[in-house]
Amino acid sequence: MSASLNGRRRVVITGLGAVTPLGNDVESSWQNLLAGESGAGPITHFDSSDFHVHFACELKEFDPAQWLDRKQARRMDRFAQIVVAAARQAEADSGIDIDKEGDRIGASVATGIGGLQSYQDCYDTLLQKGPTRVNPFAIPCIIPNMGAGWVSMELGTRGPLASQCTACAASNMAIGDGTDQIRLGRADIMLCGGTEAAINEVGIAGFGAMRALSRRNDDPKRASRPFDGERDGFVMGEAGGIVVLEELEHAKARGAKIYAEVAGYGLSSDATHVTEPDPTGENPARAMRNAFRDAGIDPAEVDYINAHGTSTPLGDASETRVIKMALGEESARKTPISSTKGATGHCLGAAGAIEAIFSLLAIRDGKLPPTINHEVEDPECDLDYIPNESRDADVRVAVSNSFGFGGHNASIVFKRLDD
């Protein structure tokens, strides 16, 4: 088959980079995920003793100085530091030459919240010391687009530059939008993904007030339990993930290794509620069907779904219905599904990026990551969630779902490149 599919340029993935609660690179994160490890533990970023929730999925021993000049790092919020680290990993993994081709290389980097720690620091300084003492870099640290901005500035990409801020669907949209930039001929390579660093007083207090967070303070590692009958909320995570997207013929010409093809991308909106999922399931199911149509696949061809699966009572039951509607009852029951948020927690705007990476590695290695902490059956969640242990499988087509507050729905289809 040629590089043109239905008259459009084909897009493949040639590089991966990640910093997650399971490891500060892709391979350690993946191996710990397959082993059923949890990234949860006591909060160390601040004193949480007065809060309802005392645990989260923090990064472990992440040092931005490994990836950034120390002076530059001080000008950046943590969410930007994390994604620059992931982008440098992805750049190295792909072998692209940004100095040579920067005009045709872009970046599409998402976040759900942006520089929340810098916002809090700015407000605290304003109250305690007055307006003249506010950090002059406060606004550039806070605004959500600066994850993308710093990736471009640090790596030297000079093509299209975009930032999505669509809650927990943001990273999937960043990858989908980057795919479209290449399909339309506006770029040959795009660095796409997302980042989040919201484990601070405002983040934990805000999500805690919504009662969105698990309160299993006595057992953090078993707190995130997607699709389990005793789930009580998600565990906050922080992470950054980047995938290098590349036009197929461009990748072949330079002898790049190819993880898979971005075969399809689908969107929809719930238009229902500020936080709760569409109770009918029809709208997120439409995003999945749109992705299948874009990819030119039948639902029965799906070998694995990396679910949004946040470990909330409403969300997981809703996604089970959504998958049945999108695939049909018979195919849904035959399709292995896992939520890797049991291990990573919910990394908000970064979730789709790291889950895309896990989906791609499932294709590469023929390994399905488990849904850890799945112990109690829920009659509303009655599909195959790959409970607790990874599984060998031949994965040709993988789907990654992301659904965000405000009704944002995004689904991506990855396909092994067989031709």
So which residues are the catalytic ones?
A: 168, 308, 346
Query: Residue 268 and residue 287: Cα distance in Å, rounded?
Result: 5
Query: E strands within 320-407?
Result: 337-338, 367-368, 391-392, 397-404
Helix (H) or strand (E) holding 408: strand 408-415
- State the Cα–Cα distance between residues 259 and 418, nearest whole angstrom: 11
- Token reading at 225: 């339990």
Tokens of 220: 């953090």
Q: Which amino acid is at 338?
A: S
Contact between 101 and 183 under an 8 Å Cβ cutoff? The reply is: no
Structure tokens at 254: 């330079």
| SS3 label, residue 161 | strand
List the structure tokens of 307: 């679910």
Nearest Cα neighbor of 354 from 7, 6, 10, 22 is 22
**Quick one: the chain helix, strand, coil %, rounded to 5?**
40, 20, 40
Residue 153 tokens read as 């500035």
Outline where DSSP puts E strands in 30-77.
Answer: 41-42, 55-56
What span, in angstroms and rounded, lies between the C-alpha atoms of 205 and 226?
22
Partner residues linked to 41 by β-bridges: 56
Q: At what angle do helices 116-129 and 201-209 cross, to 10 degrees?
A: 110
